[in-house]
Amino acid sequence: MRSYAVLAAMIMLVLLLLYGGLNLVERGMAQMLARDRLPEAFTVRRGAGSSVLVTFSGRTVVLDPNQAITAVKNWWERLRSD
C-alpha cells in the first residue's frame, strides 16, 4: 500500500513540475512578445480572499474552500441525522 502512495506522490510531483514549467514558459513568451494573456487551456490562479480560479478551455470556475467546508459539514450532518 505504501509503494502505491509513493508512486502516486511521484507522479503528482512530476505533473506539478511539468505544469509549472510550461506555465512559466508561456508567461515568459507572452511578456517577450508584449501580448496580453488570454484565458489559456489550463491555468490556476489565486482569486479574492482564499478562493482559487481554475481556467480550463476558456471557462473559469471559482473554488472557495470556505464554501466547500460548509457544504461538506452540512452534508455530514444530514448523513448523521438520517
Q: What is the pTM of this model?
A: 0.46
Q: Do residues 29 and 40 lie in contact, with contact meaning Cβ atoms separated by under 8 Å? A: no
Query: pLDDT digits over 41-59, tens only?
Result: 677 888 888 898 888 777 8
- Together in a domain, 76 and 46: yes
Taking all residues of the chain, what is their mean pLDDT, rounded to a whole number?
83
- Between 82 and 54, name the one with better pLDDT: 54
DSSP letter string over 53-66?
A: EEEETTEEEEE-HH
Total domain count, the chain: 2
- Together in a domain, 32 and 51: no
Domain containing 30 equals 1-37
* Residue 40, burial from CB neighbour count under 10 angstroms (0-12, 13-18, 19+): middle
- Together in a domain, 57 and 25: no
- Together in a domain, 67 and 50: yes
- Together in a domain, 32 and 48: no
Long-range Cβ contacts of 44-53 (<8 Å, 24+ apart) = none
- Together in a domain, 5 and 23: yes
- Together in a domain, 19 and 56: no
Q: What is the mean pLDDT of residues 7-23?
A: 88
